[in-house]
């Protein structure tokens, strides 16, 4: 109640909430004092989250205490019944009389029946009940044996595959055939630079060609618009041919760069990717040779 503000004094709902919270804290403190049995309780922050957690913990502890009390009462009653059955003089007399009048074969059969009943945990020694329990245990044992065999086979297969993958990984990491050339990164950078340079040259040539065409169109008289000089046509053809050559060169460089476009930026990762592609290429080549040999055969 110490946390009440002046505005809370005029709000019945807030006052009830504060009173309920104070009761909850009092219950928690009483429960903790009982659990620690005179020892000092640890310090903790008093807020809504802590109160919620402690309340749930106390309720769970009370439920567990109730369940334990019920279980202890049931165990006491069961032990009491067992003591009554054990100390029953009539039952002991009947058992001793039965044993005294049994033949050795009957005693052996009775002992076997009792041990079987105990081993199968059946409530009675009825032969039909024992048979059903034995069949159930046998089926369960067989299923577990089959599952264990399957798991062992699966474990062997996984171990074999794991060893094979580790061997392949070691080969990829150590074999120089699967490593990328040292100049790969430098070549890629150089080709990219050349591509950018040629693209700028193409844009300049196209701009100059457009400018020349515009100048030529403005310089022509109305009567000679449909007549082109030999020099202008030759110059235009040469510029067009140079532009085509530049475009083809740029296209060739772009195709070379695209071959390395899918490689990672990291040099080590790029080498591994090149090695993987070389392995794939060798596999395809071997498959091609095998198909060719089959066709020839």
Residue by residue, what is the 3-state secondary structure of the chain?
Answer: CCCCCCCHHHCHHHHHHHHHHHHHHHHHHHHHHHHHCCCCCCCCCCCHHHHHHHHHHHHHHHHHHHHHHHHHHHHHHHHHHHHHHHCCHHHHHHHHHHHHHCCHHHHHHHHHHHHHHHHHCCCCCCHHHHHHHHHHHHHHHHHHHHHHHHHHHHHHHHHHHHHHHHHHHHHHHHCHHHCCCCCHHHHHHHHHHHHHHHHHHHHHHHHHHHHHHHHHHHHCCHHHCCCCCHHHHHHHHHHHHHHHHHHHHHHHHHHHHHHCCCCCCCHHHHHHHHHHHHHHHHHHHHHHHHHHHHHHC
pLDDT band for 158, please (50, 70, 90 cuts).
very high
Q: What is the pLDDT of residue 150?
A: 94
Q: Tens digit of pLDDT for each residue in 10-56? A: 567 777 888 888 888 888 888 888 888 778 877 778 888 888 888 89
Q: Tens digit of pLDDT for each residue in 174-189? A: 887 777 777 778 888 8
Domain edges within the chain: 10-79
Q: What is the pLDDT of residue 128?
A: 85
Q: What is the pLDDT of residue 2?
A: 46
The predicted model scores a pTM of 0.30
Q: What is the pLDDT of residue 36?
A: 81
What is the arithmetic mean of pLDDT over 126-149?
A: 89
Instruction: Say whether pLDDT at 210 is over 80.
Output: yes
């Amino acid at each position: 109640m110490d946390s009440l503000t002046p505005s809370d004094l005029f709000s019945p709902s807030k006052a009830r909430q504060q009173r309920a919270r104070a009761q909850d804290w009092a219950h928690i403190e009483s429960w903790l004092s009982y659990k620690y049995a005179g020892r000092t309780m640890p310090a903790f922050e008093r807020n809504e989250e802590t109160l919620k957690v402690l309340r749930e913990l106390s309720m769970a502890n009370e439920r567990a205490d109730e369940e334990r009390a019920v279980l202890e009462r049931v165990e006491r009653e069961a032990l009491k019944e067992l003591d009554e059955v054990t100390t029953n003089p009539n039952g002991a007399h009947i058992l001793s009389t039965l044993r005294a009048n049994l033949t050795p074969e009957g005693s052996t059969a009775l002992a076997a029946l009792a041990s079987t009943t105990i081993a199968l945990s059946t409530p009675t020694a009825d032969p039909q009940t024992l048979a059903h329990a034995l069949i159930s245990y046998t089926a369960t044992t067989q299923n577990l044996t089959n599952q264990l065999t399957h798991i062992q086979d699966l474990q062997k297969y996984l171990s074999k595959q794991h060893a094979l993958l580790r061997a392949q990984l070691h080969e990829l990491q150590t074999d120089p055939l699967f490593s990328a050339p040292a100049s790969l990164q430098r070549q890629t950078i150089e080709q990219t630079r050349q591509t950018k340079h040629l693209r700028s040259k193409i844009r300049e040539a196209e701009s100059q060609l457009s400018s020349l065409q515009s100048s030529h169109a403005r310089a022509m008289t109305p009567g000679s618009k449909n007549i082109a000089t030999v020099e202008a046509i030759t110059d235009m053809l040469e510029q067009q041919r140079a532009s085509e050559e530049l475009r083809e060169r740029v296209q060739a460089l772009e195709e070379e760069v695209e071959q390395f476009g899918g490689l990672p930026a990291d040099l080590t990762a790029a080498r591994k990717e090149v090695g993987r592609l070389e392995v794939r290429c060798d596999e395809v080549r071997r498959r091609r040779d095998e198909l060719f040999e089959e066709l020839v055969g």
